[in-house]
Chain A
Amino acid sequence: MSESPPTTTQLPAQSPPVDPAETTEAAEHGAPAASGARLSWWHGDGGEGAKRNLALIGVLLALFAIGAATRSDLYANPDWVWANMLSILKLASVVGVVTVGMTFVIIGGGIDLSVGAIVALAGVWCTTVATQSFGAGGMIFTAIIVGVAVGLVNGVLIAYGRLVPFIATLAMLVAARGLAAEISQKQTQISENSVINGIASNSLLGIPLLVYILAAVVAGGWVLLNRTTFGRRTVAVGGNPEAARLAGIDVKRHTLLLYALSGLCCGIAAIMLTAQATSAQAAMANLYELDAIAAVIIGGTLLSGGRGTIVGSLLGVIIFATITNLFAINGLSTEAQNMVKGGIIVAAVLIQQVQFGTLSQFFRRNRLTTS
């Protein structure tokens, strides 16, 4: 430039403490050959999120330590600690089941805001006088059919109606709660069925049945995601829908199935929650969608799809339940609890981004072409 400008403002000094590109490149090139075992974490299949999940376990241990420090009187008793852990798992069970379905939807590149509403609708529908007359089997069948059906409606709207998942499931959130209120006449419907109610109150080998259900759903979800063609398609559809389509995968049908799967999980959760409360009402499972999404994010699943783990989501749910428990045993308010949860979500994501260089990737996406 021939003439010098009158005012030249210097760039704000924004040098990051660590060169983010270096970390990213290092991650991409893989660990040094010396640590062969660690290599598999970067390149291995299924082990992608192992390191992330170890970090989450670290968080859980830290929360445990905080509990032990603040209520050393209670933690001194091993029996109490065991019982408390079971109650945390029980607390996590219903949201946990919903979160498994949510994980699939999000890895598949979508989002399901209607899960809480589906749980409420399925819960209400399976506790009507008419349904209860068919016994426990009829109630379970109804809850699951309702869940899957609503999920299919979501899926059809999104996959074939080309609605944005956010909008379609937001509409379903409103509509399903409306239908639930309509069916229940805004009344609380008591579950008279002792088998159903027993799901929440009974234990097997000292462990509540709800925890077994959670374990079964998580195990099933893990196998489905990591060992089946369904799981492989989910990752492909979420990671690069166009590539999946051009490889001959029916992206629309798979998207439909993902929302149906989420609905199925909601149906199962509806039974569990109804059993816990021995009743159902239109306002039940309020804001479950946020709990589930938060757990999925904390678990390291990319909100943009294509990458995520079931175990991470489970750990996310358990971390939330542990925090709730921590506040309860210290006699603190739910308001403070929610603030901490909000902070935890942000902190968890920030830590992961710094750790894995995705933050820098985000900013340098356009510049990072590996030669």
Chain B
Amino acid sequence: MTEHENGVTEHETPLVEAPADTVAGEVVLRLTDVVKTFPGVRALDGVQLEVRAGEVHCLLGQNGAGKSTLIKVLAGVHRPDSGTVQWLGNPVAFANPQAAMRAGIATIYQELDLVNDLSVAENAFLGHEPRRFGFVRRGHMAGRTRQILGRLGHAEIPPGRMVRSLPAAGKQVVSMARALSHEARLIIMDEPSAVLAHDEVGNLFRIIRELTAQGIAVIYISHRLEEIREIGDRVTVLKDGRTTAANLPARDTPTRDLVSRMTGRTIEYVFPDRPADTADGDELLQVDGLTRAGEFADVSLAVRAGEIVGIAGLVGSGRSELLETIYGARRAEAGSVRMAGRALRPGSVGAAVRAGMGMAPEERKSQALLLGEPIYRNVTLATFSRYARFGFTDVGRERAEADRVAESLEMRPRDVRRAVRTLSGGNQQKVVVGRWLLGDTKLLLLDEPTRGVDVGARAELYQVIRQLAAQGVGVLLVSSEVPEVLGLADRVLVMREGRVVRTAAAGELDENTVLDLVMAGSLMEGAPA
């Protein structure tokens, strides 16, 4: 695939309705022409959705397509401006989330809303604890929780256990137990797999199958097409607040079709063409024997100017810790980091930045952004001092520079005075990466640059990364997605349990080889996500 195909084939996509004889259950939920506007934004602009009992109905769409708003309409957080929501055959308008819950619609948000310091049972029955004379019937509650957990195939979780002590997957089970404690007939799951490690997803799917076998309908939202293929029955695609395709069969619809309805484009992963020669740049980063006990040991690597080096590895393989240590955010216990031949002071981000490093950390919101601040102040967070005169900031210059970055990255919205909070994930990531387009960054460290970023914005980010490399910037990239590492990097390091187990040119490796290396004899599968 070449970059020329990227983003130009705009479809005028008519609403496609496939005959849905495959699903037998009665229709529990039907949305017709639902519209929801916020000042200045038409978040939902005519949504059709039909969900049957016992099916897994997948909702696909890019960030900003209106999925979140749609969920909130169903969960009773928002009321639609127009259009009808039919629940169990009757038109409904939920006054608040409790009303939706009572009607049998439960929502499991991406960031689980559990109380960490309450027990599993208390969380499951939060707000509607079985009571007698005003006292909570703890034994009864524990019994019912045990029963529900049994239904979910997780009888091993003790109802009295504090939620804090559960891993992410366990917390998700508790969220589902809460849904069942409300006798939910429809459970909405917003990217449930995002918080799970690879092997836990299978367990999630098993639970979903148990639920649907009991006639419960599930609305499943995910960015990962392969998951939708595996668990989904039917797919509804949203784009710009509108349903562009309804009730497509989840297994048989070609990927190309799904992606094109979602993006107006016809390609899934778009990697820009690989330039022919990359091996002749000057040595930029030299890492020797870097070690931090319990995280990684004796890692050596080098990045040349203009080269993209990818690190493949599971969560817990030490890859993020390695990146942060190179950047000085963690102090190495042994080993050295050199930039252009000069050793960097260990444990000093300032020294790394001055030497020309920049990093886009793994957790955008908690590690990289000032959410309430405008875009331009986030873009210039690492450089505002350089534009300042005698300690006085030059806001005009900052905005101009940020404008330039927004322009080159095709950031939306383009107005750099908007708060970063209002941007979609992909655009927030552009802000973080864009920060290092300013100043004279020589080496960019990218930790999961496309996590939570939709397909369209992904392609754009890949493009940006390649362009930077073409301009002589070295890139060190960490990603859980093997195709991403292989497609983008010139050279690949595979990490397992804190050690580099293989270094090779990207062309010499394929996805299966890398996966085998990453997983081989791995004890990390039980590692907390």
Contacts and interface: CB of A to CB of B under 8 A. Distances in A.
A76 interface: no
A242 interface: yes
A78 interface: no
Interface in A282-319: 306-307
B131 A306 contact: no
A81 interface: no
B3 to A, nearest CB: 28
A245 interface: yes
A229 B148 CA distance: 56
Contact of B374 (A28, A43, A249, A307): A43
B370 A11 contact: no
B113 A366 contact: yes
B393 A229 contact: yes
B435 A247 contact: yes
Given A1-B183, A30-B40, A246 B63 contact: no
Nearest to B65: A371
Given A43-B374, A240-B366, A228 B392 contact: yes
A240 B417 contact: no
A7 B349 CA distance: 59
Contacts of A339: none
Interface in A12-70: 14-16, 19, 21-22, 25-26, 28-33, 40, 42-45
A9 B144 CA distance: 14
Given A29-B38, A232-B377, A246 B329 contact: yes
Given A7-B132, A235-B373, A246 B391 contact: no
B109 interface: yes
B353 A11 contact: no
A8 B144 CA distance: 12
B418 A243 contact: no
Contacts of B418: 30, 43
Interface string B357-393: 0010100001111111110010001101100100111
A10 B128 contact: yes
Interface residues of B, number: 77
A367 B109 contact: yes
B39 A30 contact: yes
A230 B354 CA distance: 19
Contacts of B40: 29-33
B350 interface: yes
Contact of A5 (B63, B144, B415): B144
Interface in A82-137: none
Interface in B218-247: none
Contact of B39 (A29, A243, A250): A29
Given A1-B183, A16-B96, A26-B38, A11 B350 contact: no
A227 interface: yes
Interface stretch (B66-74, B202-210, B286-294, B334-342): B66-74
A26 B41 CA distance: 10
Contacts of A11: 98, 101-102, 127-128
A370 B421 contact: yes
B78 A21 contact: yes
A227 B387 CA distance: 12
A330 B43 CA distance: 55
Given A15-B96, A29-B40, A29-B422, A306 B377 contact: no
A228 B370 contact: no
A133 to B, nearest CB: 37
B419 interface: yes
A198 interface: no
B111 interface: yes
B193 interface: no
Contact of B367 (A6, A45, A236, A242): A242
B129 interface: yes
Given A1-B180, A7-B130, A236-B370, 19 more contacts: A9-B129, A11-B101, A11-B128, A14-B96, A28-B419, A28-B421, A29-B41, A30-B39, A31-B40, A42-B419, A228-B393, A239-B373, A244-B381, A246-B367, A247-B368, A248-B350, A249-B381, A371-B63, A371-B64
Please provide the 8 A-B residue pairs with the shortest distance between their CB atoms, ordered closest to farther: A371-B68, A248-B353, A247-B382, A43-B417, A247-B381, A239-B370, A29-B38, A15-B96
